[in-house]
Amino acid sequence: MLYREAGDFKTSYAEDNQTFPIKFDRYAYYLLLVAAFGVVPFFINDYWANAVLVPFLIYAIATIGLNILIGYCGQLSLGTGGFMAVGAFASYKLMTAFPEVSIIVHILLAGGITALVGMAFGLPSLRIKGFYLAVATLAAQFFLVWLFNRVPWFYNYSASGQISAPERSVFGINVTGPNVDAWAQYMVCLVFVFASAWLARNLTRGTMGRSWMAIRDMDIAAEIIGVNPLKAKLTAFAVSSFFIGIAGALLFTVYLGAAEVGEAFGIQKSFLVLFMVIIGGLGSIFGSFAGAAFMVLLPVLLKNVLVGGMNWPTDVAAHFQFVIVGALIIAFLILEPHGLAQLWRVAKEKLRLWPFPH
């Protein structure tokens, strides 16, 4: 009788409102935190950090950010790549202009700058809706990439327009640059992911989250019952862009170490993060993690199985990868249109009633 609500009475509204109302979930969550913070750092190597965990964590932040905009506030955006570029270039400019300030501050500020840019590009959402808005956000995507490529000030007038992250440390431990340990990269990202998920959870369960969801579910009714659509949409754009900006900054500083705007933050990045949101599940923080994990792990897994395990030529394997990812996306949508998060919820509900079928 592990997974039960029965007998687990709540005596206050605060208790009733907690994130994991079921005891078993709560303990599982604590266990996961202990493992993530206390165990993984001791066993992580370069491959697991750079090929799997660091990109997973960074994309999880971006996915949480985009999920706030699409999943919670219902505003479809394809400008993610452009906003990540803002985060990356803001952190680069800050790092090189104020080397004495901590990189953590720079990353947070980069998020703040991205939030402002996001708000500016969110303004059309007051007039434009649905797929039209999605296409409109592409204007942000293309314009921002063009801008960072075009204006040499953004890349400190380097010959090619590539930006490279200089070496920076936190508490005397390198987190960027060539001499960085896998565990340090992982820990920085983990702390940001943990904080992002916690902030996002708080924002989505309170007043602000409800205004977003009200706009998402029925914007006209929401306005009539007292939601200021300007405020709700712009805060959603701001919060979403804040997280996306942080993800962009981390992607550049901690993960890649060097970036070229068109290649690292192009339109394909916008789509990638959108896939993560939808596969994970709209309007779910857990789904954001699941979606990011799926899209980061699956190609690596397939590559290892097809090329490493079955010794296929890399090109045939790469083509098969597309075929399989595509087929899986379709299969998922047919089986569970509301993403991995919904799959998880259904499984939990079944478990709660187990062994009785209903």
**Positions in 289-308 near other proteins (CB under 8 A):** 290, 293, 297-301, 303-305, 307-308
Phi, psi at residue 173, to the nearest 5°? -110, 130
The closest alpha carbon to 240, from 66, 5, 52, belongs to 66
Between the alpha carbon of residue 68 and those of residues 8, 97, 331, the distances in Å are: 31, 32, 25
Which residue, 166 or 353, is less far from other proteins as judged by CB?
Answer: 166
From residue 148 to residue 177, what is the string marking binding to other proteins with x (rule CB under 8 A)?
Answer: -xx-------xxxxx-x-xx---------x
- Count CA atoms closer than 13 A to 115's CA, side-chain side: 17
Window contacting other proteins (CB under 8 A); options: 36-44, 101-109, 183-191, 330-338: 330-338
DSSP letter, residue 353:
H
Here's the x/- map for other proteins, 108-147, by CB under 8 A: it reads as ----------------x--xxxxxx--xx-xx--xx-xx-
Residue number with CB closer to other proteins (173 or 333): 333
CA distances from 37 to 44, 83, 294 (A): 11, 29, 21
Contacts to other proteins from residues 186-215, by CB under 8 A: 199, 202-203, 205-208, 210-211, 213-214
Site residues (CB under 8 A) for other proteins, limited to 11-70? 12-14, 17, 46-47, 50-52, 55
Cβ-Cβ contacts under 8 Å for 199 (sequence gap 6 or more): none
Give residues 241-300 in contact with other proteins (rule: CB under 8 A). 255-260, 262-264, 266-267, 271, 275, 278-279, 282-283, 290, 293, 297-300
Among residues 5 and 354, whose Cβ is nearest to other proteins?
5
**Two tokens, residue 280:** 């994970």
Residue identified by tokens 């062994």 is: 355
Residue ranges in 219-313 assigned as alpha helix (H): 219-224, 229-250, 261-264, 267-280, 285-303
Alpha carbons 243 and 287: distance in angstroms, whole number: 16
Specify which residues 230 forms β-bridges with: none
Q: Which of 329, 342, 348, 352 binds other proteins (CB under 8 A)?
A: 329
- Residue 171 Cβ vs other proteins, minimum distance, rounded to whole Å: 19
Give min distance, CB of 7 to other proteins, in A: 17
For residue 81 the two structure tokens come to 């790549």
Closest approach of other proteins to the CB of residue 38, in Å: 17
Binding segment toward other proteins, per CB under 8 A, in 22-30, 186-194, 223-231, 350-358 = 223-231
With respect to other proteins, which residue has the nearer C-beta, 33 or 135?
135
> Which of 25, 63, 89 is closest to 271 using CA atoms?
63
CB of 256 to other proteins, least distance (A): 5
Report the alpha-carbon distance of residue 31 to residue 24 in Å, rounded.
11
What single-letter DSSP state applies at residue 52?
Answer: I
Nearer to other proteins, 41 or 266 (CB): 266
Does the footprint of other proteins cover residue 183 (CB under 8 A)? no
Q: Which is nearer to other proteins, 2 or 224 (CB)?
A: 224
